[in-house]
Structure 1
């Protein structure tokens, strides 16, 4: 139960291991919609719920999610929830208790504001195993549930996320990019992502160098920065290209068009606990990645070797790193290759098949 890139990668592993899946996903959207479809080994039910719905309306969806789960529970050996949230963790826990099925929680974020603390704790307490994606979250879980804790970081499909010269040419031609250096960002405009920081640094550097900026994403969550307003205020309309969120399989094509990829996350507790999948995708592309040194990113990127780090919020430091990379294409190529090697050798999906298989078998065998 759940959604997002992390769950898709886990689902891919389960499919490769011969498991069949019933996926129930709760997704924020502009309008309410219910979608059902079958894809390979997956039977998928998606609840698309408007972000601006009142909490009481969102709470009612839980009963619908629970109903869908009851219909699919027959023949199920284990229940996996991608969070402890009230919309996924709670229905998963109830199904686990009612039908006596083991529950595995993939603990990927801090407790959200809409989930009461007692529900968050109850989901963790009653799970068989808790997968954590960052060392921060693992330390948090270990304090209460050491025997259940299992560190499984982000892993990705390195065959999907790899540089393609043909895609680079096609996308750059489509976007009207010539010889300019193209800086890329993929993700939401949520305030924790720090997109305004990147915009301000870009605005200064473009006065000196031939640059373009590609923003692949949008203000699709509450608390997003007014990125389009900032672009207008800075008169960057001709230099910044905004494209809406794309299907995941299309993202590598757009990233291939870029020369430098950036993740300017701010320094706060949310990012300290996180392990952003976009950084792994960036590195896997073999393109130089520049990221703020907050949270798990500092354990993944070795500054100057397989990527570059800057202090979160320090625009002068980011500008200095970007200028260095703009002037040195050979350095970009070298560091980009090392980034790709890091993902292939340590974080490609195939390396985590056995670990996840053992975790499932242990949960079902207890």
Structure 2
């Protein structure tokens, strides 16, 4: 079965989005499918129009040089040009490759052109949603919930959802939101949870050389690994650690990553009386991420309570669990789907630094229990979030959509 995956961006760019996409196409290839990838103009300039990564073709969508100045001048209207360029690229691929199914991944900027192209070529269309674009725009400060732009984007999203042959979502929160919109039968929505390569993310002994370089040889480390979005709530983590550092002289905070709030986070830490005990190494190469994880004793995910965090499950806590880390998370809906109190991690009230202090203080007093807690966390990932198991669900989605397509032609 030949499947065209339409993506906003992909590796070598590093994010939860690109990591999930790589895992899906890699596992599908291992299972005997034949995935093909195309990325939107948001991938940015690439050395080649088509790249082969692990034997899988990645087609890139370029902006013609003559259009770049014009697109800059028209501002937000350039989104329409982006979608037109992606649709044209998809059509070129469909003429060149023998594709059975078009599988678009959110945002709707990918889904709409993919749906148009799929219908033009008479192919079944699967839409996979990891988050709603209108909610992401709110978090980035580009609109507000209920504003005209928000409602227009939500309307386009809903229209594409209702016209897709099958829908894939990453969690129950997104499924329930789609059902509430109406026009989509429950049987058309499939939950394929976020997954982890449990062979790649495994427990590791402490990286002694890195610990020495960072001054963490005898430290207890509470940390975060991920992208610095505003909704991640990282200032609250700093607040909580400050309250604990006076009574725990070897407690350090290690916050690994980069993103839109990086500068503000650095300013916040620079103003802290404990600033020397917070480490922000910035963006680290993918191959070094595991070494940084090895230094962290407790991984904290202090997401704020927002619509996007209530609906969407993140990937990073699963990586930490797979590496047998103690995980603490805020009790927003997306994290509650992953972290179950006392079973594979611990929860605190979102936005409440005092409650996070309470949970961390209790864990700091139970260091002997950390290996057992981490072991349960890893087992929960093995049981529910292995990519080799999750990708079997795509077989069922594709088989269902192909059956429906054949019935429609008969």
Aligned twin of 1:66: 87
Aligned twin of 2:145: none
User: 5 Å matches for 1:80-229?
Assistant: 80-86=103-109, 88-112=110-134, 113=137, 116-142=153-179, 143-146=182-185, 147-165=187-205, 168-209=207-248, 210-220=250-260, 226-229=264-267
Q: In proportion to residue count, which structure has more helix?
A: 2
8 Å CA contact 1:21, 1:41 repeated in 2: no
Indicate yes or no: 2:116 matched with 1:79: no
- Using the alignment, how far apart are the partners of 2:213 and 2:62 within structure 1? 31
- Using the alignment, how far apart are the partners of 1:47 and 1:232 within structure 2? 41
Indicate yes or no: 2:26 matched with 1:12: yes
Question: Is there any run of 5+ residues in structure 2 with no aligned partner, and where?
Answer: 1-5, 10-16, 138-148, 405-410
In 2 relative to 1, CA 93–35 (structure 1 residues): closer, same or farther, beyond 3 Å? farther
Deviation at 1:236?
4.5
Deviation at 1:75?
0.9
Aligned twin of 2:57: 43
- Using the alignment, how far apart are the partners of 1:365 and 1:286 within structure 2? 41
In 2 relative to 1, CA 46–186 (structure 1 residues): closer, same or farther, beyond 3 Å? farther
User: 5 Å matches for 1:251-270?
Assistant: 251-270=289-308
- Using the alignment, how far apart are the partners of 2:35 and 2:286 within structure 1? 20
CA RMSD of aligned residues (A): 2.5
What TM-score do the two structures reach when normalised by structure 1? 0.90
Question: Is there any run of 5+ residues in structure 1 with no aligned partner, and where?
Answer: none
8 Å CA contact 2:41, 2:86 repeated in 1: no
Compare 139-148 and 286-295 and name the one that shifted more. 139-148
Select the residue among 323, 331, 335 that pairs with 2:369: 331
User: 5 Å matches for 1:321-360?
Assistant: 321-360=359-398
8 Å CA contact 1:271, 1:294 repeated in 2: yes
In 2 relative to 1, CA 109–35 (structure 1 residues): closer, same or farther, beyond 3 Å? farther
- Using the alignment, how far apart are the partners of 1:58 and 1:242 within structure 2? 34
Select the residue among 51, 65, 77 that pairs with 1:56: 77
1:188-228 Cα deviation digits (max 9, x unpaired)? 221111001001111221222112212111124xx777111
What is the DSSP-based 3-state SS (H/G/I as helix, E as strand, rest coil) of the residue aligned with 1:21? strand
- Using the alignment, how far apart are the partners of 1:18 and 1:198 within structure 2? 44
8 Å CA contact 2:253, 2:277 repeated in 1: yes
Deviation at 1:261?
0.4
Deviation at 1:181?
0.8
- Using the alignment, how far apart are the partners of 1:235 and 1:28 within structure 2? 40
Deviation at 1:33?
2.1
- Using the alignment, how far apart are the partners of 2:40 and 2:125 within structure 1? 18
1:66-97 Cα deviation digits (max 9, x unpaired)? 232222223111111111422x1122112111
Indicate yes or no: 2:319 matched with 1:296: no
Deviation at 1:47?
6.0
